[in-house]
Structure 1
């Protein structure tokens, strides 16, 4: 009997190990799917990476980072991350929580944060509500905080106020000192348009600009170049590339930057005041798919979009960056004047690109 159970344990262990082993089978077909989607959505450039074993095991650059000069994207081509910046912002905020300088239960009014409209100056709204997109509520719960998920990048960006007040530093300085330099992210920087924050990196501005994928928009059926976005803060504005995001992903896997208990908190779904699990943790979407915990964030703005997906149990990370907004557009369909549609936003398969990744490396529903 002991031999029997020992054999079962061995088979079970081998099965788990097999699940954790990356297989590049038919990545040619996967690349073809991504290229077909790129052409369908008329995205000029895609930089795509799959991370396994703390290494970039598969990379593909599709299209042109600069159409006019036919520049093919590489793993070092820089893109605007848009809302993937929120994952970095959450780390900086939680570092201050760990240091005892910020309490997530503090009311936003402590920092003079004004939210406008019906939410204005409300002591019931805490910093944790901005961090988890639960500040607004809806008509079913009297627009009270803590009851429902409603993505709001503007509210998230206001976390800069407590971050800067309690640290005594600008958000840009914290980004450089606490994340970019410790992790050796050689191609990651605050938005070029924020000249003061970008200068903190010490990078040559002209040389860095040559690495950046040119932003485009689809207007009246034509792909046209547009101006770069200008914002930088906890909600958006960081610039990076696939190779640096590999290092960032590895740091998360190794539980660097925050202590293990804080990382556990970051990747735990928020619960509403009614006891319902919501799709967001602290700066990350957190959902289960085929009995696997999936962690991700999207980024979307005119001229750029991004998707960063982690599946810890499979030791897999998927990174895809684009120089137009159509990679992540489905996640940002409007629900009402104030919010995006929470059902779409919390469904990773809403993106055809994410769906292709899940089908290839995890399996279909």
Structure 2
């Protein structure tokens, strides 16, 4: 990490680049990085995204980390690879790492009924009565809901019967985890993710834990974009609890560090990592489009493992891995412009223009220009 060098080709490629990108030379992997970054900037401008930060990891080395546009449009502060953003639901893979670490240490069982760990019954009954689509079909008479159901979004209806993406129930997964450790979930993420992955510019926040002061100063300002493309500062986000579904502020560079630490087995074992990225089997034997904290799908002969993040009118993000190519892509934005209205019941990351640009440049392209 410490030996990243400046990649001057990218600096000269476009005057719109807001910061000098980091890159590691890898002559055996001849990708046209400059053309890829130019494509991302075209997509960014078309989507009226004020600021964007990106990173690409190949073979557990960072081959690109840079920023485009502005982290603060009013003050013309450029976005960089080290600009912090609220990553929204991209926090879910990090939360799943915490859960699987506790499984490895014997502190929690993914398949033990939640009622044995926490006050699930009371929460379930109360939430099921709320007038929200996320509560529709939640059956609380069954004592069989498990942590696996929450982390794989298979808690609606008969537990394990079908996939139904549900950030509220995923968020509640922090409760049994805190119960068995007698520790705040935010402290556990720091202990088992941020610290071992050397994610120095990442932190949790929730209603009782203000964002770390240095990150608050540097954080990309959130913007909402009108139909005409005009931007304005977004309002304050509503306070959240110490849940597993979000609550993380991080940078593209730090998420690249997470990616490397995860693939090197520094956070959880290889067996646990594979479990995260294996589609959940439903009660009828069918495969859901989700593992533990990750969407999973097939695309042109490759398995894609990914998660999106979206705060309406504020932030958006995408973290996409192609395990058989050993390559990962991270993009963070200070508007909702990265979001592509993915249907909540399906995995269709190929609909994202940013994902398409990445897949074309690093995965499906048959001809790559030498650096």
The TM tier, using the shorter chain, reads 0.7 to 0.9
**For 1:312, which of 320, 323, 332 is the aligned residue?**
323
Query: How many aligned positions are there?
Result: 322
Within 1, Cα distance between the matches of 2:290 and 2:357? 22
Whose helix proportion is higher, 1 or 2?
1
Deviation at 1:77, TM superposition (A): 0.4
**For 1:151, which of 165, 170, 179 is the aligned residue?**
165
Q: Does residue 143 of structure 2 align to residue 123 of structure 1?
A: yes
Within 2, Cα distance between the matches of 1:133 and 1:272? 11
Of residues 171-180 and 72-81 in structure 1, the stretch that sits farther from structure 2 once superposed is: 171-180
TM-score by length of 2: 0.81
**Residues 278-317 of structure 1: per-residue CA shift (max 9 Å, x gap):** 1111111122323222211111112111111112222211
**For 2:180, which of 162, 166, 169 is the aligned residue?**
166
**For 1:209, which of 208, 211, 216 is the aligned residue?**
216
Name 2:96's counterpart in structure 1: 90
Name 2:244's counterpart in structure 1: 234
Q: Does residue 209 of structure 2 align to residue 196 of structure 1?
A: yes
**Residues 305-363 of structure 1: per-residue CA shift (max 9 Å, x gap):** 111111222221101000111202422x5xxxxxx3x13xx011121111111122112
**For 1:325, which of 336, 353, 356 is the aligned residue?**
336
Within 2, Cα distance between the matches of 1:197 and 1:265? 33
Name 1:275's counterpart in structure 2: 285
Q: Does residue 68 of structure 2 align to residue 55 of structure 1?
A: no
Deviation at 1:148, TM superposition (A): 1.6
Deviation at 1:194, TM superposition (A): 4.2
TM-score by length of 1: 0.83
SS of the residue corresponding to residue 64 of structure 2 reads: strand
Deviation at 1:175, TM superposition (A): 1.3
- Within 5 A, what are the aligned runs for 1:1-365? 21-25=28-32, 27-110=33-116, 111-113=118-120, 114-115=123-124, 116-117=127-128, 118-119=137-138, 121=140, 122-136=142-156, 143-191=157-205, 194=207, 196=209, 198=211, 205=213, 207-219=214-226, 221=228, 222-229=230-237, 230-231=239-240, 232-302=242-312, 303-331=314-342, 333=343, 340=344, 342-343=345-346, 346-363=347-364
Indicate the RMSD between aligned Cα atoms, in angstroms.
2.1
Name 2:12's counterpart in structure 1: none
SS of the residue corresponding to residue 190 of structure 2 reads: helix
Listed as ranges, the gaps of 5+ residues in structure 2 are 1-26, 129-136, 367-371
Tell me, yes or no, if the aligned pair for 2:255 and 2:330 is still in contact at 8 Å.
Answer: yes
Within 1, Cα distance between the matches of 2:218 and 2:232? 19
Within 1, Cα distance between the matches of 2:248 and 2:282? 30
**Residues 187-226 of structure 1: per-residue CA shift (max 9 Å, x gap):** 00012x545365xxxx5x1x32222100011245331111
Deviation at 1:228, TM superposition (A): 4.4
Tell me, yes or no, if the aligned pair for 2:340 and 2:351 is still in contact at 8 Å.
Answer: no
Name 1:11's counterpart in structure 2: none
Deviation at 1:269, TM superposition (A): 0.9
Within 2, Cα distance between the matches of 1:255 and 1:181? 14
Name 1:14's counterpart in structure 2: none
Name 1:8's counterpart in structure 2: none
